[in-house]
Chains A and B, each alone.
Chain A
Amino acid sequence: MAEEKSQASSSKMLTLKASDGVLFEVELNIAKEMKTVQAYIDDCEDIETIPIPNVLGKHLAIVIEYIKKTNEEYDAEFEKQWNMDDLQLLLLAANYLNISGLQECLCKAIAKRIENKSPEYVRKVFNIENDHSPEEEAKLRKEYKWAFEGVDKD
């Protein structure tokens, strides 16, 4: 009995439950990288399953993988695999779980993906409606005419 207990505490596993019910068993030190989870553990020491209501299973899997593997090389290649939707959802996940390294990595990745795009494309990405009048927009476009050269086609 005593043996089992000490084994459990030296490599304690935690279960994270994603919004769609998918369960992930992670080591404590991995889970602690998610500051939100850390705060949860601090509050309720004996907890074994922690609900992550804002994050889908597929994204939580990616986040956990990131924490395990993160280094300069991995980070450089990491963001290339995901489409814009996933990048945003991963960013929201990293934000909710409070993982600053992953947040930085994803913010940089999204910035890189939109830097050469048109304002229309960017509005779609951020789900924003244009609140400029046609005259106001025309004025801005004229003022920044030079910034529109060589923009990617939508």
Chain B
Amino acid sequence: MASKDIKVSNHIPNDLAFSILSKLPIVSIKRFSCVHKSWALLFQNPNFLSAVGKNFISQYNSFYDDTCLMLKRTQGYDNRCVFDMLSGERFENRVRLDLPLPFQDDDTCIQILGSSINGIICLYQEGDHSKIVLWKPTAKEFTIIPSDNVNYLPYSTTLTKTHGFGYDSVSDDYKVIRHATLFERDTDSRSRNYLEGYRLYISKSVGKFWEIYSMRSNSWRKLDIDMPLRINESVVVYMNGMCHWWGIKVGKEYVVSFDLSNDVFLTTPTPLDMCDNSNLGMVERHLVVLNMSISLISNYAMNTTFHISVLGQLGVRESWTKLFIVGPLLGVEHPIGVGKRGNIFFRKENYKLAYLDLSTEIIEEIGIQGESHFCQIVIYKS
């Protein structure tokens, strides 16, 4: 009747457009930059990006259902490790875990590699005989990964660096990636250096290669590949069939992503906006997974303002999008892990552990102390 003649304005006002656009995923936002100049401008606005970030963080992802946290802390000058499982909304439920058998005699310097996959955690202990154990704490089961390797030359010593633990769904296999450097065995004690439990041989390196362990074949296989090495004890993450780590090659830093199903890797350089040669000093970077997306937490050394960028597409440097700038945060040191809903865990200067809730930007302590620098928190899903 009359409704055909009466036209109600269809024009969406700016505040509603803001609200709609801030709910889009990063890839859509980038694509829509060419819709209109005002949009391209809006998409650079930190307030807008912060709204995008908050929506991104709070988006439901079923992966995080029924998860808890595994906390590793070290105590004493020799870095003896204790493991706890944390659960509950405020992590009030704590269960101390018994270490699996291989580590019961020597519980020093154990590191968690990545996070849990089907309830399995990969633990490794660098040192004389690098020990790697796959551990299922809920079932109290473990598997020791053999460290002897036919790829190693006789009369050589090997320095290995584990780089990733993951699951290959194509071959239904659990795999571990490692880099090995072989040295001439040097029996002259004068040329040995000891550094944090590692033995650095000044003798000549006679070979370097990557190798991959397959649980199905229970053996290591050499890889004909040249990838950037993991930076020190930086975090390794696993997601959707790929292992990712923060790597360095020829002084340049990258996210390295290794596909377990086809042994192919790709690299993503650091975001362009924060560079080491700025006069604000060195940039510290932490690779994390936020709501199932590869992300980077960066801060200038000695500065507690954290810049958080999410990677829109693997391999594409321009797709890094800075969604959060948080801080300065009082009394926090570096991140020790990420929980669900983008909760970033920190160890504070007073040794107390706390998490930053990205949607409210509030820091909450969890009532646990972490004595030394080597705390790790990972998501555990059985």
Query: If A58-B3, A88-B12, A115-B24 touch, does A140 touch B19 (CB 8 Å cutoff)?
Result: no
B8 touches which of A55, A116, A151 (Cβ 8 Å): A55
Q: Which are the 3 A-B pairs with shortest beta-carbon distances?
A: A111-B23, A147-B31, A140-B34
User: Which residues on the B side are within 8 Å of A128 (C-beta)?
Assistant: 35-36
Instruction: Report yes or no: B319 in contact with A146, Cβ–Cβ below 8 A.
Output: yes
Which residues in chain A, 130-153, are within 8 Å of chain B measured between CB atoms?
Answer: 130-132, 136-137, 140-141, 143-144, 146-148, 151
- A103 CB contact (under 8 Å) in B2, B19, B27: B19
Task: Say how far A63's CB is from chain B's closest CB, in angstroms.
Answer: 13
Is there a chain B Cβ closer than 8 Å to A26's Cβ? no
Known A123-B35, A146-B313; contact A92-B8, beta-carbon cutoff 8 A: yes
By CB atoms of chain B within 10 A, which of A88, A116, A144 has the most? A144
Contact with B along A16-43 (1 / 0, CB 8 A): 0001110000000000000000000000
Per-residue CB contact flags for chain B residues 286-330 toward chain A (1 = under 8 Å, else 0) read: 000000000000000000000000001100101100000000000
Quick check: B17 and A126 within 8 Å, CB to CB?
yes
A146 to chain B, nearest CB (A): 5
- Cα A144 to Cα B30 in complex, Å, equals 6
Q: Is the CB of B28 within 8 A of A91?
A: no
The answer to whether A111 touches B11 (Cβ under 8 A) is no
Beta-carbon nearest neighbor of B6 in chain A:
A20
B1-58 at interface with A (beta carbon < 8 Å): 1-3, 6, 8-13, 16-17, 19-21, 23-25, 27-28, 30-37, 40
Query: Is B31 touching A148 in the complex (CB atoms < 8 A)?
Result: yes
Given A114-B28, A123-B35, A146-B313, verify A56-B318 contact (CB < 8 Å): no
Q: Which residue from chain B places its CB closest to the CB of A141 in the assembled complex?
A: B34
Q: Are B27 and A19 in contact (CB under 8 A)?
A: no
Where chain A touches its partner, the secondary structure class is helix
The reply to whether A19 and B8 form a contact with Cβ atoms under 8 Å apart is yes
Q: Are A91 and B312 touching (Cβ within 8 A)? A: no
Residue contact A130 to B36, C-beta cutoff 8 Å: yes
Interface residues on B, range: 20 to 34
Q: List B residues at the A interface (Cβ < 8 Å).
A: 1-3, 6, 8-13, 16-17, 19-21, 23-25, 27-28, 30-37, 40, 312-313, 316, 318-319
Q: Which residue in A95, A111, A114, A132 is a CB contact (below 8 Å) of B34?
A: A132
Q: How far is the CA of A21 from the CA of B20 in the complex (A)?
A: 30
Name the residue of chain A whose CB is nearest to the CB of B5.
A20
Q: Which residues on B sit within 8 Å (CB–CB) of A119?
A: 31-32, 34-35
Number of A interface residues at 8 Å Cβ cutoff, please give it: 45
Q: Mark A residues whose CB is within 8 Å of B.
A: 19-21, 54-58, 85, 88-89, 91-92, 95, 103-104, 107-108, 110-112, 114-116, 118-119, 122-123, 126-132, 136-137, 140-141, 143-144, 146-148, 151
Residue ID in chain B nearest A116 by CB atoms: B28
A20 → chain B, closest Cβ, in Å? 4
Determine how close the nearest CB of chain A comes to the CB of B35; give it in whole angstroms: 5
Indicate if the CB atoms of B34 and A89 lie closer than 8 Å.
no
Write the nearest CB–CB distance from B22 to chain A, whole angstroms: 8
- Enumerate 16 A-B pairs (CB-CB under 8 Å) in ascending A order: A21-B2, A88-B12, A89-B10, A92-B9, A92-B10, A107-B23, A108-B23, A111-B20, A116-B28, A122-B32, A126-B12, A130-B35, A140-B40, A141-B34, A148-B31, A151-B31
How many angstroms between the C-alpha atoms of A114 and B23 in the bound complex?
Answer: 11
Residue from B8, B13, B36, B40 in contact with A56 in the complex, judged by beta carbons closer than 8 Å? B8
Question: Which residue of chain B is the closest to A151 with respect to CB atoms?
Answer: B31
Instruction: Give the docked Cα–Cα distance between A48 and B59 (Å).
Output: 42
> What chain A residues lie within 8 Å of B30 (beta carbons)?
144, 147
Q: Which residues of A contact B11 (CB under 8 A)?
A: 127
A103 contacts which chain B residues (CB < 8 A)? 16, 19
Whether A144 contacts B23 in the complex (CB less than 8 A), given A95-B13, A114-B28, comes out as no
* A-side contacts of B318, CB under 8 Å: 143-144, 146
B35 touching A85 by the CB < 8 A rule? no
What's the Cα separation between A95 and B16 when bound, in Å? 8
Closest to A110 in B: B20
Please give 4 more A-B residue pairs, beta carbons under 8 A apart, in addition to A92-B8, A116-B28, A146-B319.
A20-B6, A110-B20, A115-B24, A119-B31
Q: What B residues does A131 contact at CB under 8 A?
A: 36-37
